Chain A
């Protein structure tokens, strides 16, 4: 049971062979058993979980079940929830309780989901390994000495070890797809504007987007269907976004007529040869399923990381100014004056990676440097968007490795931020272009999971879901789970 997919659990609930409370207990027991090892959850309130499950069971007794009725879903510590603390895994928000739910949390509740708890993450989502969390590192269920990826590493590890059947993450430069790849699960980043950002603690506003992390493609579709849609209180949430047949798109079993672009910039020397071999094998499989593989070029790919590390920190430097010790969050003891309160509160509250990004961003925006950094990065962003538009004239979808590497060891890259930043090299361009992207398991390298990344034109999540569903149906990678936690590897 614990390694069942969301849709399998739903079938059991709908057939009456189990209850939401029973399901909740199974996962609460697993969290109790394994969270000390993994540190995937940073907050869990078992009583509150059982209360929600009971409420769901009584709802089901009286009404037709809602789309996610009784299904446990964990959420990253970046989503504001009225229940329990919302801390973004930062000391500056230690014990912060939001007086509101993020819009997507409201939607999950309305869909009948049972919210399991808050998952670990890099502080303010700044990191690729969940090592910058103020609440301790999170471990990869496939190798507990290795990182789970990041920044949504807690959500990824929790799903991979079946401490929850599904979780929400956020993706600013790959923070859903990269940890999904590293932990061997499926993660979907929707088109920018598809999902409301209201109540999600902002990292880089023009890039952030929430999405599901699940065992299967269909599970991701179920959750995205529930959380997407216009929110009149988020001006960047799109009002007239094309509607997707989320579940219908997952019925695909072949790829006949599908033109898949294979960008040469994503298959390069220097990447892990075993990772490359897994992804190449996946593309062969796609061909066998009827797809046509077309070599394409996204010529500005090499500038994506540099542009991202100007734009995201610039926006973050402003987004994080509100943590000033005045109204909420950490305030230093006995400040001498205003400046002392600001500097000590922020110095004590923020970790070093967050400080590094605030400083980088403030520098990039400062007078005399704006044109050379921020403005130039925005121009690169436009060129990257154009690369994709041009590519999608010839192909329906693009396939790449999600990450050039598999999980590395804890602490291996913490002293070298630039190497760490390269972990997101294949996921960042998707955010800069605002496109939907999906990562699904496609094999193992060095005994660790490898992810296949699909990239579709804006609003064509259906294309992503169909391709990924066909691939998933033809392979058994999605059924693999770490033996150490009771899975079948």
Chain B
């Protein structure tokens, strides 16, 4: 009998505010331990939280982007548990009434687009970090992360394979970066995922699920889910039962191990946070955030195809991030004659070179205006496409504009018929046998002459003119 995999995902995504969720401390990553703390995020006696409204706006924006309902009144709750990196002994979270409910993310699958439901997005605060590695008999605690705002994005159990789970995560990852609500750097722990996994025979009710924790790359998540699916199937096929538990993925051993069972599960004793009144936002505020929402990747892709006639591939590449799409639109604005040429040169030539150099579009040495300058010289036949690639190399190197490089290196295309005729005549004089052969009917030799002339002109002769003049002069 076949097995069906059921996956639901919980993503913890750091919201990229300048200051923490409930105090004025910096959220900058990588500072010396415990230097970005204050009495509030250290949980000192009598200190009180004050909500960062930027985090609220960014959570609302994320909700709007997944077509969700924004709760105009939401509430904060305390989630109680003891851990040394949780200074207050409770985490301020949203339990009963989150700020965002419902919504969906559409993912590409082999069978076309599939809609994955999003149950809710709630706001909460991050804990600090505990460090045990390399320490004898002690642990160290860094509370710089304590109080950094998080969105917890909870999906419906709608995914049916590890690949679908990864596709969902990638869409979500792209979205939060696109909306500029999160840096979503997985290595910095800004985008973390827990997976709820179960198996069943198709048509049956859900099986018992396990929760996989501590997965910080798409590759590990895929491995962990695939491992867990096989493990559960094996348990059931051996006549056993899957135990509801949390399992920790060990990316070194490529296996998961039980972290705590249902019996050991925390009772978080949620109750309304009395230090924060209910969070109220007006419909006008939500509408204003909606009005400021950028075009989303899917909308951009469609518009690029329709408005600029781009291939689906180019449209997809250029809509990956807001920086890329913005860069492309600046390029088109500076070189409006041929948006397709813009896309080709940006997607293939520029991005390829940046990737080789290990750079982002944001640190490109060639600006959109300068690349447009290069494309203008192709359009007006000053240089050929082939020469243009060399010019772009030089531009990447020096940051100079195309005209300066063309001028400096003397790369201007030769379109003067007198000059071209001179070169052709020299080539004909040097190759009398081939001239005779061509005139005797060996048409194939035409290509030989084109090659020789281009070589003699160092590639600078206008290819169309070379063709035309060669035909004339070879006639004799």
Contact = CB atoms under 8 A, between A and B. Distances in A.
Given A318-B80, A318-B89, A367-B269, A198 B46 contact: yes
Interface in B49-66: 49-51
Contacts of A362: 80, 269
Contacts, number: 99
B277 A100 contact: no
Interface stretch (A64-72, A178-186, A232-240, A475-483): A232-240
B256 to A, nearest CB: 23
Interface stretch (B36-44, B167-175, B309-317, B427-435): B36-44
A321 B269 contact: no
A201 interface: yes
Interface string B316-348: 000000000000000000000000000000000
B294 interface: no
Interface string A292-316: 0000000000000000000000110
Nearest to B78: A318
B54 to A, nearest CB: 16
B82 interface: yes
A83 to B, nearest CB: 15
Interface string B89-101: 1100000000000
Nearest to A234: B48
B87 interface: yes
Interface string A85-102: 010100001001011101
A365 B273 CA distance: 13
A192 B205 CA distance: 50
B248 interface: no
B169 to A, nearest CB: 30
B292 interface: no
Nearest to A100: B39
B62 to A, nearest CB: 23
Interface in A182-214: 197-202, 204-206
Interface stretch (A146-154, A322-330, A456-464): A322-330
Given A235-B51, A367-B269, A80 B46 contact: yes
A41 to B, nearest CB: 20
B417 interface: no
B148 to A, nearest CB: 18
Given A205-B274, A367-B269, A374-B271, A322 B45 contact: yes
A315 B48 contact: no
Q: How large is the interface on B (under 10, 10 to 19, 20 to 34, 35 or more residues)?
A: 20 to 34
B141 interface: yes
Contact of B89 (A98, A322, A365): A322
B276 interface: yes
Contacts of A201: 45-46
Among A88, A200, A204, A326: residue with most chain B CB under 10 A: A326
A376 B96 CA distance: 16
B267 interface: yes
B133 to A, nearest CB: 16
A318 B271 contact: yes
A382 interface: no
A366 interface: yes
Interface in A398-435: none
Contacts of A102: 46
A200 B141 contact: no
Given A86-B45, A327-B43, A235 B277 contact: yes
B88 A321 contact: yes
Interface in A329-384: 338, 342, 362, 365-367, 370, 374
B41 to A, nearest CB: 11
B46 A98 contact: yes
A100 B40 CA distance: 11
Contacts of A233: 48, 50
Secondary structure call for the A interface: loop
A197 B269 CA distance: 24
A93 B84 CA distance: 18
Contacts of A93: 45
Nearest to A315: B274
A235 B271 contact: no
Among A235, A362, A374: residue with most chain B CB under 10 A: A235
A317 B43 CA distance: 15
A164 to B, nearest CB: 22
A177 to B, nearest CB: 21
A88 B45 contact: yes
Nearest to B266: A367
Nearest to A320: B89
B50 A232 contact: yes
Interface string B267-285: 1011100111100000000
B47 interface: yes
Contacts of A321: 80, 82, 88-90
Interface string B134-157: 000000010000000000000000
Contact of B80 (A96, A98, A328, A365): A365
A236 B46 contact: no
Nearest to A367: B267
Contacts of B51: 235
B292 to A, nearest CB: 26
Interface in B76-126: 78, 80, 82, 84, 87-90
A199 B80 contact: no
B56 to A, nearest CB: 13
Contacts of A326: 84, 87, 141
Given A100-B39, A327-B87, A370-B271, A236 B277 contact: yes
B5 to A, nearest CB: 29
A366 B39 CA distance: 29
12 contacts: A80-B45, A99-B44, A100-B44, A199-B47, A201-B45, A233-B48, A235-B51, A236-B274, A321-B82, A322-B88, A342-B82, A370-B270
Q: Which 10 A-B pairs have the closest CB atoms?
A: A321-B89, A205-B274, A206-B274, A365-B269, A199-B46, A322-B43, A201-B45, A367-B267, A326-B84, A201-B46
